[in-house]
């Protein structure tokens, strides 16, 4: 029966001369050479020949000026260091497909009411999740948890039109979201947002914001807050600054 020897081949003329210990190289380069040859031995050799090849390397590196301790350390199997991500205790990861207006994480949305007023909300979760909460708050009469529930339970006919909710914008970051929400609230003076929840928007922006279009609504048109004569065009630097600071583009 034929026998195959699978081991490292060296030409008969190979001299086993490697980078000498006294050579003026960085120690890591010297260690690296021994380690690389040891790895090659483990990768190529059949199990019964690995030890033989490692002994050969041991002898070769002794002849190149290295001591036993150095050779032993370099010949030891390399331990792969876990990277930063592996060190965290990750249990499971899930990746959701992107569905516009559903998986958008940070959303500014508008819920209309049958009375013509609107609620401008923001969430850093999906808008769908937040809507489900608003609906539950309405059903259970939890007015302290939701301004929408509070409005729905007011005197008069207030049917919250959840099905007509629109995602006005998606923006990343806490501050841009607050600013954008404030802009939208300003553009919808007939909102039923709670004032204490609203980010204070410097008055200097009011004329600029009032000039921007309000996206078409299904219920009824939203009146502009300022009469047209007060809506003077802002100096260009203001527009620029608004974009710069918040990454906001007005609808």
| Residue numbers at the binding site for Zn ion (CB under 5 A) | 113, 115, 158
Q: How far is the CB of 82 from Zn ion (least distance, A)?
A: 56
**104 or 150: CB nearest Zn ion:** 150
Q: Phi/psi at 163 (nearest 5 deg)?
A: -70, -15
**86 or 197: CB nearest Zn ion:** 197
Beta bridge partners of 191: 118
**113 or 222: CB nearest Zn ion:** 113
Angle of CA points 244, 201, 180, to nearest 5°: 55
Q: Which two tokens stand for residue 133?
A: 């909460």
Cβ atoms of 148 and 119 within 8 Å: the answer is: yes
**115 or 167: CB nearest Zn ion:** 115
Q: How far is the CB of 96 from Zn ion (least distance, A)?
A: 34
Q: How far is the CB of 141 from Zn ion (least distance, A)?
A: 16
Q: How far is the CB of 185 from Zn ion (least distance, A)?
A: 16
DSSP state for residue 154 in the 8-state scheme:
S
Q: How far is the CB of 218 from Zn ion (least distance, A)?
A: 15
Closest CA to 168 of 139, 145, 188: 188
Q: How far is the CB of 184 from Zn ion (least distance, A)?
A: 18
DSSP state for residue 110 in the 8-state scheme:
E
Element (H, E) at 241: helix 236-246
Q: How far is the CB of 114 from Zn ion (least distance, A)?
A: 6
**49 or 158: CB nearest Zn ion:** 158
Measured in residues, the chain has a length of 251
**115 or 214: CB nearest Zn ion:** 115
Cβ atoms of 116 and 161 within 8 Å: the answer is: no
**75 or 147: CB nearest Zn ion:** 147
Residues 6+ apart with CB under 8 A from 17: 64
Element (H, E) at 188: none
Q: Which two tokens stand for residue 168?
A: 């006005």
Crossing angle (nearest 10°) for helices 27-44 and 68-75: 50
């Amino acid at each position: 029966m034929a026998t195959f020897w699978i081991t490292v081949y060296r030409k008969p003329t190979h001299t086993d001369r490697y980078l000498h210990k006294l050579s003026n190289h960085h120690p890591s380069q010297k260690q690296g050479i021994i380690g690389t040859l040891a790895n090659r031995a483990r990768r190529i050799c059949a199990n019964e020949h690995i030890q033989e090849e490692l002994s050969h390397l041991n002898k070769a590196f002794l002849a190149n000026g290295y001591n036993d301790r150095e050779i032993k350390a370099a010949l030891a199997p390399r331990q792969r260091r876990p990277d930063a991500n592996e060190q965290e205790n990750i249990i499971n990861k899930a990746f959701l497909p992107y569905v516009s207006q559903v998986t958008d994480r940070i959303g500014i949305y508008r819920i209309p009411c049958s009375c013509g007023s609107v609620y401008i909300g923001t969430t850093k979760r999906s808008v769908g999740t937040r809507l489900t909460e608003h609906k539950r708050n309405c059903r259970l009469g939890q007015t302290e948890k939701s301004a929408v529930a509070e409005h729905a339970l007011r005197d008069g006919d207030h049917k919250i039109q959840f099905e007509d909710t629109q995602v006005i914008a998606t923006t990343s970051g806490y501050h841009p979201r607050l600013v954008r929400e404030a802009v939208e609230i300003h553009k919808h003076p007939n909102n039923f947002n709670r004032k204490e929840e609203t980010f204070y928007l410097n008055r200097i922006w009011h004329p600029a914001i009032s000039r921007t279009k309000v996206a078409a609504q299904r219920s009824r048109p939203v009146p502009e807050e300022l009469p047209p004569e007060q809506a003077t065009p802002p100096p260009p630097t203001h527009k620029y600054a608004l974009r710069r600071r918040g990454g906001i583009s007005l609808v």
